[in-house]
Amino acid sequence: MCQDGAVATRTQRSPRRTEALSRERIVEAAVELLDTTGESGLTFRVLTERLATGPGAIYHHVANKGELLTVATDEIVAAALAVEPLASSPQDRIRAVALGLFDAIDAHPWVATQLSDSGWQATTPRILESIGRQVGALGVPEDDWFITTTVLMQYILGAAAQNAANARHVGPDANRAELLGAMAAEWAELDPGDYPFTRAVVGQMRDHDDREQFLAGIDLVLAGITALHLTGRQAAVHREP
């Protein structure tokens, strides 16, 4: 009887896993930790506790924290880029890519840091390819593909990162309308001689939507691409006999 009791105690203290540990499950748990605690909260010790496993099982799938961060970032970005637009023009596909990345970074702010730190490695070529194909489809000359595509990337990732940073700064429980209202009240009190423009746009700032503002920026960049690379060529084609 005592022996049976001892066996029962050991069984309670060491529950067996009911599913095999996979690379996908490790990445899923890592993303959950990154979303709730940030990069500093992702450690292999915490990860092993969450997955009820030993560090050896995790190291079998990923070599270190750096590789895990790279894989997690790539998974989030890949899902964002898989969003299909309702229309099929290059402009609409660029907007879909841009908004997918904006929403992904808004939901997972740590992704912005990883993309910034990774430079031209890892996930960056995936984004470059996704946008660059549409730049080519727009009719931009091949000699201008790199500059045009990277300018779009810089705007998309920079604006998305800034939006995520703003959200982190104010905190998850902040009331956006109240914060913008308080800022608008401060701007309205600025000296009209020194800040005529700022005072003039107080109402627009207070009532703006972040996603609409972001997409307006995409439209401005696309309009610039059209004016710089396409309008003159189209006009020349129309003038040909």
The tokens describing 11, both together, are 């069984």
Q: Please say if the pLDDT value at position 17 is more than 80.
A: no
What pLDDT is recorded for position 103?
96
What pLDDT is recorded for position 6?
45
What pLDDT is recorded for position 171?
63
Q: Is 134 exposed, middle or buried (0-12, 13-18, 19+ CB in 10 A)?
A: buried
Q: Which CATH superfamily is domain 86-238 in?
A: Tetracycline Repressor, domain 2 (1.10.357.10)
What pLDDT is recorded for position 75?
93
What pLDDT is recorded for position 176?
83
Indicate the pLDDT class of residue 116, thresholds 50, 70 and 90. confident
Q: Is 78 exposed, middle or buried (0-12, 13-18, 19+ CB in 10 A)?
A: middle
Find tokens 């990883």 and name the residue: 114
Query: pLDDT of 86-101, one tens digit each?
Result: 668 999 999 999 999 9
What pLDDT is recorded for position 166?
84
* Structure-model confidence comparison of residues 2 and 225, the more confident one: 225
- Sequence letter at residue 102: F
* First and final C-alpha spacing in the chain: 102
Query: pLDDT of 53-64, one tens digit each?
Result: 988 889 999 999
Q: Please say if the pLDDT value at position 235 is more than 80.
A: no
Mean pLDDT of the chain: 85
What pLDDT is recorded for position 12?
40
Region 143-147 average pLDDT? 96
Euclidean distance between CA atoms 37 and 164, whole angstroms: 15
What pLDDT is recorded for position 118?
64
What pLDDT is recorded for position 88?
82
Domain residue extents for the chain: 86-238
With 0.85 as the threshold, say if the pTM is over it.
no
Euclidean distance between CA atoms 194 and 206, whole angstroms: 20
What pLDDT is recorded for position 21?
86
Task: Tell me 63's DSSP state.
Answer: S
The answer to whether residues 21 and 53 touch, using CB atoms and an 8 Å cutoff, is yes
What pLDDT is recorded for position 240?
46
What pLDDT is recorded for position 11?
38
Long-range contacts at 236-241 (CB < 8 A, ≥ 24 apart)? none
